[in-house]
Amino acid sequence: MKSGPRVERFFCEGCGLCARLCPYGAIRMEETVSGEWFVSGTRRGSFVHARLGVAQGNSGRLVAQIRRAAERIAEEEKLEYVVIDGPPGIGCPVIASLSGVDCALVVTEPSLSGLHDARRVIETAAHFAIPVKLAVNKYDLNPEMSVEIEDFCRGKGIQFVGRIPFDPAVVEALSAGRNVIDSGNSPAGDEIRKIWELLIR
Ligand code: SF4
């Protein structure tokens, strides 16, 4: 007996494309709650974030919702920038994070898998004509690989904006409930400040 196409619910991201394309109208989308989003106040301004429900690993729609909220707050408060912390990979939430941004900063780690993942997200950004800059985190854990990543950037015409060293000050700041930027000078914090200056130039 032949069986027709079947939706694997754990892989479905709820994008709705199949319902839109099905010539027989055989697929119906239903609204479900995949997570909740919040606006929190921080020392650095408003922070819009979300918590996904159990087994709701992917939700481009939730990312889009968060972005709309952040953009509305930025307009109301006349802020110059909205910074989006995108997820790893190249799935639906990454595309929802990338679409329409002025610039994407790829932060990778000095390993073969780091370079591989960076390559994939750079190709995704190129597909949407988004300018990309790249920084290496904990570069001193593998300096040779960091050089290889820098060479890769040169070869692709990607601006290399910084090398963040491994720095215990990051963990100390996080354990104290702060970020490394608000914790005075430190090798990692100073490099992140330099990267920010290069990003907004
Ligand atoms: S909603 Fe999107 S991810 Fe889910 S089955 Fe349809 S096309 Fe695939």
- 88-146 per-position pLDDT tens digit: 887 778 888 898 899 999 999 999 999 999 999 999 999 999 999 999 999 999 999 99
48: pLDDT confidence band, cut at 50, 70 and 90? very high
Best CATH choice for the domain 100-201 from the list 3.40.50.620, 3.40.50.300, 3.40.710.10, 3.30.2390.10: 3.40.50.300
Cite the residue boundaries of each domain of the chain with CATH code 3.40.50.300: 100-201
| Ligand 1: nearest atom to the Cα of 13 | 3
**Span from the CA of 16 to the centroid of ligand 1 (angstroms):** 6
- Region of 166 (left: φ > 0; alpha: ψ -120 to 50; beta: rest) is beta
| Atom 8 of ligand 1, residue of closest alpha carbon | 12
Distance between CA atoms of residues 69 and 167, nearest Å: 34
Q: Which is it for the CA torsion 99, 103, 109, 110, positive or negative? A: positive
Quick: pLDDT tens for 115-124: 999 999 999 9
**Span from the CA of 53 to the centroid of ligand 1 (angstroms):** 19
> If DSSP codes are grouped into helix, strand and coil, which group holds residue 41?
strand
Question: Which of 17, 20, 28 gets mutated to test ligand 1 (max ligand atoms within 8 A of its CB)?
Answer: 17
The pLDDT score that the predictor gives to residue 58 is: 61
Percent above pLDDT 90 for the chain = 67
Which residue, 91, 97, 108, 125, is CA-closest to 161? 108
Q: Is the pLDDT of residue 59 over 90?
A: no
The pLDDT score that the predictor gives to residue 117 is: 93
pTM exceeds cut of 0.85: no
For residue 198, give both structure tokens. 């290069």
170: pLDDT confidence band, cut at 50, 70 and 90? very high
- Does residue 13's CB lie within 6 angstroms of at least one atom of ligand 1? yes
Percent above pLDDT 70 for the chain = 97
